Amino acid sequence: MNKDFVSSWEPKKEPTAGDKIRDAIKPAGPLKPRLEAAVRSLQMQIQRLDQINGRLNERQRVMFEKVVDAVKRHDNARATIYANEVAEIRKMAKLIMQSRLALESIVLRLGTVDELGSIVSSLAPAVRVISTVSKGIGTVTPEAEKEMGEISNMLSSILVEAGQTGNYNINFETGNEDAAKILDEAATLAETRLKGEFPDLPTGTSSQQTNQ
């Protein structure tokens, strides 16, 4: 582990006069506590998505019961209306679940970072994933979109600084490929989980074909 990494990774207990001058010019601080702060922020976003998912599940349950009741009463018009709402709720739930799983994957990756090289290789896809997730959930929770945008900016800053400190070239093409894999895996897992959690709509409801 080189000296540049140690000085950038661990906070300095007793900064020298030169350190204070450099901190005044570049006040962001050591990489490790900044990365840990970003991870904590991501964990808070995951908790928020869990809360949203819980509310969506409850709303889906209520509307599903209305579909079943309307079908029993042979009220096809209402059954279709309720079924369409169930389908929309499930689409939103899939988006939230996919976003949550993608962020969880990023948190796990960042938790294993212990050197500059792994910072660069881990943060390049992380920034891309967070940016994509942020845009996706913006219609559901604009506040979370703003906060994740701030987290993305923080990680981008750490990424650039780590690359400069360790003289690493940041391969954004590879980072984007890794990000795409993370998002695809999250989408597949989300679909599998939701199929297990949500029962099929009663036959005869027109939105059944949109329940993906």
Over residues 60-102, the pLDDT tens digits come to 999 999 999 999 999 999 999 999 999 999 999 999 999 999 9
Contact 102, 186 (CB under 8 A): yes
Looking at every residue in the chain, the average pLDDT score rounds to 81
Q: What is the 3-state secondary structure (H, E, C) of 33-102?
A: HHHHHHHHHHHHHHHHHHHHHHHHHHHHHHHHHHHHHHHHCCCHHHHHHHHHHHHHHHHHHHHHHHHHHH
Q: What pLDDT does residue 201 have?
A: 82
Q: What is the pLDDT of residues 23-35, one digit of tens each?
A: 433 435 577 888 8
User: Is the model's pLDDT at 7 over the cut of 70?
Assistant: no
Q: Determine if the pTM surpasses 0.85.
A: no
Reported as a pLDDT band with limits 50, 70 and 90, residue 212 is very low
Reported as a pLDDT band with limits 50, 70 and 90, residue 142 is confident
Share of the chain above pLDDT 90, in %: 45
Q: What pLDDT does residue 168 have?
A: 64
Domains and CATH numbers, the chain: 29-200 (1.20.1260)
How far is C-alpha 211 from the geometric centre of its chain's CA atoms? 23
Tokens linked to 157:
């800053």
Query: Residue 185 corresponds to which amino acid?
Result: E
Query: Residue 161 corresponds to which amino acid?
Result: E
